[in-house]
Amino acid sequence: MPSRQANLQEDTYFRAMRILQQNPDLTQRELAAKLGVSVGGLNYCLKALMERGWVKMQNFSHSKNKFGYVYMLTPGGIAGKAALASRFLKRKMDEYEALKAEIATLELESHETMASGTMRDPS
């Protein structure tokens, strides 16, 4: 089972690729802000994605980025993003089920506490 750190890193890769697919000409600063990470953290992420061959940096003269670069997903990147999306969705569904169970337990505890009279209803 991957570590929490590995899952967070994979989530960041997925989210970055998802944003880049829709907005390839974002600056690193803009992309970092959308992801909620530092520019240095984003740089590390982009470098890893480029090393995997999932993202390539391309010179594009019409880019709003002052350096004239865009970040494009490669065909391998599109396939990689699909695999990441599947794992991301599974993790989120597992988290959702765990939260539902925790909420149900808390509701039951709350009702039991109120029924036993140890806690008065504030209404």
- All structural domains of the chain with their residue ranges: 4-85
Specify the residue for token string 């960041």.
Answer: 12
**Cα–Cα distance, 71 to 28 (Å, whole number):** 10
φ, ψ for residue 118, nearest 5 deg: -80, -10
The continuous run of DSSP H or E covering 40 comes out as helix 39-51
Architecture of domain 4-85: Orthogonal Bundle (1.10)
Predicted confidence band at 113 (pLDDT cuts at 50, 70, 90)? confident
| Structural Rg of the chain based on CA atoms | 21
Question: pLDDT of 1-30, one tens digit each?
Answer: 678 888 889 999 999 999 999 988 888 899
Rounded Cα–Cα distance for residues 21 and 55 (Å): 10
Residue 12's H or E segment, with its range, is helix 4-22
pTM score of the predicted model: 0.72
Give tens-digit pLDDT for 61-110: 655 555 667 888 999 999 999 999 999 999 999 999 999 999 999 999 98
